Copies of this chain bind each other. A is one copy, B any other.
Amino acid sequence: MQHVNDGKAFAAQRGAAKSNCPFKNGEMEGNGSSRSDSQDALNGFEMRGLDEEFDDARLKLYRRNGRRSRSRSLDDIRIEMLPRTSSPSCGRKSFLPEGMLFGIDIGGTLAKIVFREPGFLAQGPKTEQAQRLRQYFSNSDGRVGSEDERLYFSDPLGVFGGKMHFLKLETSSIDFLFEILRKERQTSPHEVTQWKIYATGGGSFKYEARFKDLGIKVRKSDEMETIVSGVLCAIENIPDECFTWVPPEFGGDVDDDMTLVRQTIQVEKARKPWLVVNVGSGVSMLKLDEQMTVDHGKVGTYKRVGGTPVGGGTFLALGCLLTGAKSHQELLEMAAKGNAKAVDKLVGDIYGEDYHGLGLSAHTVASSFGKLVNADLRNNVSMEDLAASLVQMISWNIAHLARLVACQEGARTIIFTGSFMHNNEISQRKFAAAFRYWSNGDSQALFMRHEGYVGALGALAMSTLIRQEHTH
């Protein structure tokens, strides 16, 4: 297969691929669902799901661009948005609003919370409050909620203007969050009314009324928008955020992904488009690109270009069903001890040797879990081997889809985010090795330290956008 690096040919190919492809983007639909044709129309739309206040702020931007009508059809929106000049990023020159800030991303499995404790506060009610909030999480049994202390950083003089805390809890235990908020409201009602909460994810819609009942105003942002904002915000503003896994300089078996070593990557200058593969309960794939504008400028754009419902929720649910494990972390620990080859059917199991006709080695997986069609093997299987095969199957399936989508979209930088990737060295190594192998080193799978919090961080970053617009 040829590798043509000419940018123009590349762009032409992508354009052609899109106009000729007989298929449209689509999700798996349950029976009897009402399919909306607006999905396609909205795929290129960059600001969505904002509540009234946000929408007003954005509308000012439109008006500055000479567009005054507020009633617009979906097609109009797509056209209107093209000349937009602010990319969805908080940017190095931007600054967050003052006071206690929260970015909350309430997903299908986990609710992720970023909170910014203002940096220059004297000891007083607000820092006590921050301590109490962290205390609530550290007092929970670790399953309901916990702080990712390794992700904490302090940036009082920089973009973030304070101390950044990262906490998560299971969405099914969301009552725990509302209980904390209720307590805080009783303890320090004045401070709580000043909180600024920026929310995203499906739960920001589902639980909106619960926040309102507590008298807390939540500003909602679209899930895809906040993923993009969060990725760009973290890459631009958090040092050493991105990394990958590379073969060691000396020694190491090139075929063994366990010999790869971690390497920090400066991704800012990597040629667009990038593909962001966010692996949460399900998977969304977003293409980040740069487009020329009609007034000879450049604008950052994004579009959802793929996805699959086989994601982190599937891993956790199937893994717990199969092994009796209780958490994502426990499953990963089991998987690290297991041997997927003990349950997967390999080419060698079927052929007794390599499949020379297709050049497949005897070690290639022909059928995930395929050895266990045999009842005797099923009855004596080790839980660790099941976990190892499951994480490999789901990871590889995501990598495979990401590769097809990256190929279709011409992306050579693939950034994996989402809580499935958290502490998940197994998948990281597999993705890094797979993309290196498939592309002969021409494309790269990247990972982020705050991978699970890009949505929450992006919601927080939205506050900057609003603020920028208000100060114009």
Whether B20 lies near A368 (C-beta < 8 A) is: no
> Quick check: which of A343-351, A449-457, A461-469 contacts chain B, the rest being far away?
A343-351
Query: CB within 8 A of A361: which of B33, B222, B406?
Result: B33
What is the 8 Å Cβ interface bit string for chain A, positions 317-349, against chain B (1 contact, 0 not)?
Answer: 110111000100000000000001101111101
> Quick check: which of A114-122, A185-193, A394-402 contacts chain B, the rest being far away?
A394-402
Whether A373 lies near B26 (C-beta < 8 A) is: no
Q: Which residues on B sit within 8 Å (CB–CB) of A410?
A: 20, 22
Whether B32 lies near A20 (C-beta < 8 A) is: no
Query: CB within 8 A of A363: which of B29, B41, B350, B396?
Result: B29
Whether B317 lies near A34 (C-beta < 8 A) is: no
* Chain A interface, number of residues (Cβ within 8 angstroms): 133
Q: Does A70 contact B (CB under 8 A)?
A: no
Q: Does A155 contact B (CB under 8 A)?
A: no
Q: Does A356 contact B (CB under 8 A)?
A: yes
Q: Which residues on B sit within 8 Å (CB–CB) of A404?
A: 401, 404-405, 408
What is the 8 Å Cβ interface bit string for chain A, positions 435-460, against chain B (1 contact, 0 not)?
Answer: 00111101100000000000000000
Query: CB within 8 A of A27: which of B223, B352, B360, B374?
Result: B360
Query: CB within 8 A of A28: which of B9, B49, B108, B365?
Result: B365
Residues of chain A in range 347-378 having any CB-CB distance to chain B below 8 Å: 347, 349-375, 378
Given contacts A29-B364, A365-B28, contact A21 B407 (CB under 8 A): yes
* Bound form: Cα–Cα A203–B108 in Å: 44
Q: Does A300 contact B (CB under 8 A)?
A: no
Whether A255 lies near B32 (C-beta < 8 A) is: yes
Q: Does A269 contact B (CB under 8 A)?
A: no
Query: CB within 8 A of A22: which of B202, B281, B311, B443?
Result: B443
Whether A396 lies near B31 (C-beta < 8 A) is: no
Q: Does A181 contact B (CB under 8 A)?
A: no
* Bound form: Cα–Cα A46–B256 in Å: 32
Q: Which residues on B sit within 8 Å (CB–CB) of A311?
A: 367
- Chain B's nearest CB lies how many Å from the CB of A154? 33
Q: Which residue of chain B has its CB nearest to the CB of A47?
A: B357
Q: Which residues on B sit within 8 Å (CB–CB) of A362?
A: 33
Given contacts A39-B358, A358-B224, A440-B24, contact A256 B322 (CB under 8 A): no
Q: Which residue of chain B has its CB nearest to the CB of A304?
A: B358
- Chain B's nearest CB lies how many Å from the CB of A392? 8
* Beyond A22-B406, A28-B434, A206-B352, 12 extra complex contacts between A and B, CB < 8 Å: A20-B410, A23-B407, A30-B346, A38-B356, A107-B350, A109-B345, A172-B374, A309-B344, A310-B368, A317-B343, A317-B373, A401-B401
